[in-house]
Structure 1
């Protein structure tokens, strides 16, 4: 049954969360007294939070849609670059104790925390976006996973077809298996359409456990300069908010840059160089977030993993700006070959 609610927005600091959560313990969530049943959605962002104009903003778009169309209450909280799993657990426990149900952890780094906390709150539904290994535990936990390699394959093909120097590059935020899937698909797609294309050694901004590579734009700027100096005239980034530095630097140099997660052609932070954004590899995180909230709202929640791929339009490439219009037929042919299984896209570089 659909439940109508008024909308509120709560802002909570990380410090307050940790203190409050430690005081709350592991009690079952208080869903409120008498009267109308309510749904209060809690969403914990990945590093960068709302406003990163990439991965987190795609999740935020899904939350905003749920707020508008389902009229739910929401609370959203951002992560800190140096936080631990314990910090994430505290954040999730606080939201659960406050009666938020469902609760969403945005980013693979929430996988362990969600799996652990969900066991203590069996009546609360949880979602991990980009779950580590696409695996979650428990009857009240779901995972939204994306075929990043498939979408990256298509923008890799676009990069090779558009390159004039014959050299292209890839910049990843943090060297983890998730981001390696972007690299693997990108390189395979480029080689498919132009076997002799030179792909510069991939540059990762940081190594785990340092996740600042998803946030520090100066790191993206410096990495982009290095690949431009090495002759790349198309560079693809999978670096979250740090990728804004990549886009601005490559755009200012008059070369092609490829965005990620959101259609970055339309993001205000890069408006001055948007005509240098060749395309973006789009992950429809907004759809996954909305679908999950709607499923709980309508008592149709299903535990386990769901894959968002090319076939389900969970990933794809952006056409804003018209820069890939002349090669779109080739990209669409490759897309259909991936969907049919004719092309097997690698997930490791």
Structure 2
């Protein structure tokens, strides 16, 4: 694989997967000339959550298809366009914006460079450019299931939700979770607070501790790297946390009850697969929900969940897949459903 010259950037850090140790081998797959790059919004590539899951999908694609992969971290909003243009200067075939923060920058770049292929994860547009694939997830569906589980398992009838920033995907987590709780046990109280950051582990931990001091014994944190602080608080207090985006049980095996998984790794892998196979077609959304296998929950790997609870959650999952349960995505929809 030909190494490309790295530009010197004061606000961004470019990494080519071909020079990373432990990023996977090609398993005998012939190398090809296709390159794929991702531009991150908030957080680092090793955030144990959203960004890392996306990168893991590209790592698998590198192993399976022999492509070149790379990423750029953004330190501030002004980096987004600069990072996209850096990847274009590197002749990157597909540029993926990771997170809603990249929405405007991807749209602007797609209009300016109609021959360049783009995708954006976790966002969409009213009018989709022909060279862009927006990828969206039904986070409310997996959040609903962990809300059901939290209501079933809480011993204090008090649970918590911690959000990073009120991005559409986080709001979908929030109200899907709340509906799962209230639809299962209307007497369960839900404490809610935003960190206003996806990177502040200390504040995430502090908020979780405050909720625990108010008797919340299970907390879902849809907060990126800030959520790892909430998991640390659960570990220290011997209470439960619910992971998000990827299986986060490795952070606290005895305290992460389950995770509301959003399979960004599947989405990023599928985008590359389409590119390699020549079927990449912009202009329309890709939507991943329970039915499509794009969201879900982590099974009871540590025997933390009683089997009767797991059975109940699985029945609810089937109802969601069959369209028997309508799950809110916003505060307005939630308020209408609980009247």
**SS in structure 1 at match of 2:259:** strand
Alignment partner, residue 183 of structure 1: 174
The 2-side partners of 1:64 and 1:15 are apart by 26
Provide TM-score, normalisation by structure 1.
0.85
Alignment partner, residue 283 of structure 1: 262
Residues 177-256 of structure 1: matches in 2 within 5 Å?
Answer: 177-200=168-191, 202-206=192-196, 213-256=197-240
- 2:85 is aligned, of 63, 83, 93, to 93
The reply on whether 1:295 has 2:274 as its aligned counterpart is: yes
The reply on whether 1:163 has 2:154 as its aligned counterpart is: yes
Alignment partner, residue 57 of structure 1: 52
Residue 95 of structure 1, CA deviation: 0.8
**SS in structure 1 at match of 2:92:** coil
The reply on whether 1:321 has 2:302 as its aligned counterpart is: yes
Residues 118-129 of structure 1: matches in 2 within 5 Å?
Answer: 118-129=110-121
The 1-side partners of 2:265 and 2:3 are apart by 20
The 2-side partners of 1:282 and 1:134 are apart by 24
What are the superposed Cα offsets for residues 174-218 of structure 1, whole Å, 9 maximum, x if unpaired? 123321111100010011211211112x10011xxxxxx100100
**SS in structure 2 at match of 1:275:** coil
The 2-side partners of 1:322 and 1:135 are apart by 44
The 1-side partners of 2:296 and 2:2 are apart by 32
Contact kept in structure 2, 1:11 and 1:76, CA below 8 Å: no
The reply on whether 1:74 has 2:63 as its aligned counterpart is: no
| RMSD after superposition | 2.0
Residue 97 of structure 1, CA deviation: 2.5
The 1-side partners of 2:289 and 2:125 are apart by 13
**SS in structure 1 at match of 2:254:** helix
- Any gaps of 5 or more consecutive residues in structure 2? 14-30, 332-339
Flag the 1:7–1:153 CA change in 2: closer, same or farther, 3 A.
farther
Alignment partner, residue 134 of structure 2: 143
Residue 60 of structure 1, CA deviation: 0.8
Residue 169 of structure 1, CA deviation: 0.5
Alignment partner, residue 344 of structure 1: 326
Flag the 1:198–1:71 CA change in 2: closer, same or farther, 3 A.
same
Alignment partner, residue 20 of structure 2: none
**SS in structure 1 at match of 2:133:** strand
Alignment partner, residue 307 of structure 1: 287
Alignment partner, residue 116 of structure 1: 108
- 1:45 is aligned, of 40, 44, 49, to 40
Alignment partner, residue 21 of structure 1: none
Residue 301 of structure 1, CA deviation: 0.7
Flag the 1:300–1:182 CA change in 2: closer, same or farther, 3 A.
same
What are the superposed Cα offsets for residues 234-269 of structure 1, whole Å, 9 maximum, x if unpaired? 110001011111000122101111010010013xxx
The 1-side partners of 2:5 and 2:203 are apart by 32
Provide TM-score, normalisation by structure 2.
0.87
The reply on whether 1:261 has 2:240 as its aligned counterpart is: no
Residue 7 of structure 1, CA deviation: 7.4
The 2-side partners of 1:13 and 1:337 are apart by 52
The 1-side partners of 2:226 and 2:6 are apart by 24
Contact kept in structure 1, 2:32 and 2:66, CA below 8 Å: no
